[in-house]
Amino acid sequence: MKNKEWFRTWFDTKYYHLLYRNRNEGEAHRIIDALLHLLKPPPNSSFIDVACGKGRHSIYLNSRGYEVCGLDLSLNSITKAKKLESTTLNFLHHDIRNPFPIQDCDYALNLFTSFGYFDSVEEHVKMLKNIRRSLKSSGTFVLDYLNVSRVMQDFCPMAEETIDGVKFTISKAVDGNRITKTINVQDAEFSGEFKEQVMAFTYDNLCEMMIESGFVIQDTFGDYELNRFATDSPRVIIIAQRR
């Protein structure tokens, strides 16, 4: 049932933004600067930021002279991002499993593990095909995903953290091909539990799905400085071109 999907609730809470407070503008500038240096998009190129959250990458890209449209399912995040809209910066509340209301982009970005949330490989391929259709022919797609082998190396089944008076108790489990985080939140005004569940897609799985969806893999990097991908890299960053 749609209202039971974990990603509809967790990402729309203030607790998600508090727990991941280090995933901030500074980090967004770092990866965008590195990508602009690598890809050298001509001035005024257009970007789509797929699952843009509050728009930290979109806003910075736009300030660097590019036309940007961000899509996200979180109404709270999109409402916040919309306050910064302009003629060259737009945000849309959209479920990325459905065809996108925008086409002919030069570049598509899907950053900070905004993938792997759905129940089947087919749904992920459907999302990748939507991304492909939003691009011009030969447009470029950047997918930034967790590196499952590094996650397994660093695996910590239980952690506790208190941030601004909110206590987070996080338990992690690997069940089959999914990594599940259960996040217990204790706040003065709220106590409850959220779930974060990501498919344990390997680099090879990601490449297979991208190729099936009509992309050609061009390059792979392993962190936000765009060092080469290795099995212990923190990230898998795949650069692909629309076939």
Q: What is the largest CA-CA distance in the chain?
A: 52
The DSSP code for 96 is T
Nearer CB in complex with ligand SAM: 4/165 = 4
Cβ 39 vs Cβ 32: under 8 Å: no
Query: Of 100-108, 109-117, 150-158, 230-238, which segment contacts ligand SAM by CB under 6 A?
Result: 109-117
Q: Is 51 in the site for ligand SAM (CB under 6 A)?
A: yes
Q: Is 215 in the site for ligand SAM (CB under 6 A)?
A: no
Query: The tokens 């982009």 sit on which residue?
Result: 105
Residue from 60, 66, 117, 224 binding ligand SAM (CB under 6 A): 117
Query: Of 95-103, 130-138, 206-214, 215-223, which segment contacts ligand SAM by CB under 6 A?
Result: 95-103
Residue 35 sits at φ, ψ, to 5 deg, of: -70, -40
Quick one: which of 134, 133, 130, 58 has its CA closest to 91? 58
Nearer CB in complex with ligand SAM: 20/216 = 20
Question: Shortest gap between Cβ of 81 and ligand SAM (angstroms)?
Answer: 10
Question: Shortest gap between Cβ of 181 and ligand SAM (angstroms)?
Answer: 12
* b/e sequence 123-161, b meaning 16+ C-beta within 10 Å: ebbbbbbbbbbbbeeebbbbbbbbbbebeeeeeeeeeee
Q: Is 73 in the site for ligand SAM (CB under 6 A)?
A: yes
Residue 121: CA atoms inside 13 Å, Cβ hemisphere, count?
12
Helix (H, G, I), strand (E, B) or coil at 194: strand
- Terminal Cα distance for the chain, rounded: 35
The 75-94 site mask, x for binding ligand SAM (CB under 6 A), equals: --x-----------------
Q: Is 108 in the site for ligand SAM (CB under 6 A)?
A: no
Residue 28: CA atoms inside 13 Å, Cβ hemisphere, count?
22
Question: Shortest gap between Cβ of 188 and ligand SAM (angstroms)?
Answer: 26
Nearer CB in complex with ligand SAM: 17/242 = 17
The 4-43 site mask, x for binding ligand SAM (CB under 6 A), equals: ---x---x-----------x--------------------
Is residue 208 exposed (0-12), middle (13-18) or buried (19+ Cβ within 10 Å)? middle
Nearer CB in complex with ligand SAM: 41/53 = 53
**In the complex, which residue's CB is closest to ligand SAM?**
53
Q: Which positions lie near ligand SAM, rule CB under 6 A? A: 7, 11, 23, 51-53, 56, 72-74, 77, 95-97, 111-114, 117
